[in-house]
Amino acid sequence: MAIAIAFSAFINVRLTVRTAAETRGFAVVELYTSEGCSSCPPADAVVAKIEKESTDKPVYILAYHVDYWNHLGWKDQFSSADYSKRQKDYARFLKTDGIYTPQIIVNGKIEFVGSEEAKLRSVIGTNLQNTSSNKISLNVAAIKPKQATLKYTIGTADKNTILQIAVVEKAATSKIGGGENNGRTIAHVQIVRKLQAVASPAGEGTIDISLPDGFDSKTWEMIGFLQNKGSGAITGAAKAL
């Protein structure tokens, strides 16, 4: 009887561990930054540290370079008006007073100053312990010089959910020749070079992504995440394999 009880306990432990792995949480960390902002390099350094430490965890760093600093002496080569608009959308979702850099938003639900490393670690830890409400998998079916085809599988997604695909340059450095960071060399990680959306992507499907100039599958990657277009909340995420 003792052996049977012990064997039963072992089975229960194995099942519990497997279930926990299947429903583990995730953290999509969006940094809004600019090469023209003197407060941004410390935030860039913080997310670079987190990225290096999180290679075996479902932590997805996305750095969006906004364009509203460009008129102050230096044009950020990675900046886009689309990313400034995305940040403004978050201001509406999260009911903040306005936009600023450096700003971090985690899973579309909580925002704070991007250089607050202790805060970021705490929020990531909390979200990794949460249960993911949507499962998503992404696989690269084909890559051509200017286009990638991805296959996706999504567990559940309502009509307000969109699949966002971020094409990410994993690392770059810039020699700054003007503005607040004049004369500095700044290192960047996880630079979003393109963001493309698929509406109502429930079930299985494919999507063609146009690739930016310079794309290299060895030094770039693609990250997909499910986002509610009404609230901004992110409910699932995965890297393309």
Span 135-176, pLDDT tens digits: 899 999 999 989 999 999 998 778 889 999 999 999 999 999
Residue 132 has pLDDT above 90, yes or no: no
Which helix (H) or strand (E) segment holds residue 170: the answer is strand 161-175
* Section 176-183 average pLDDT: 98
**Superfamily of 24-239 according to CATH:** Glutaredoxin (3.40.30.10)
For strands 136-143 and 185-199, give the pairing. Answer: unpaired
Least confident of 11-20, 44-53, 205-214: 11-20
pLDDT higher for 159 or 127? Answer: 127
Q: Across residues 24-47, what is the average pLDDT?
A: 97
Which helix (H) or strand (E) segment holds residue 62: the answer is strand 59-65
pLDDT of residue 13: 31
Buried b (16+ CB within 10 A) or exposed e, 12-49: eeeeeeeeeeeeebbbbbbbbbbbbbebbbebbebbbe
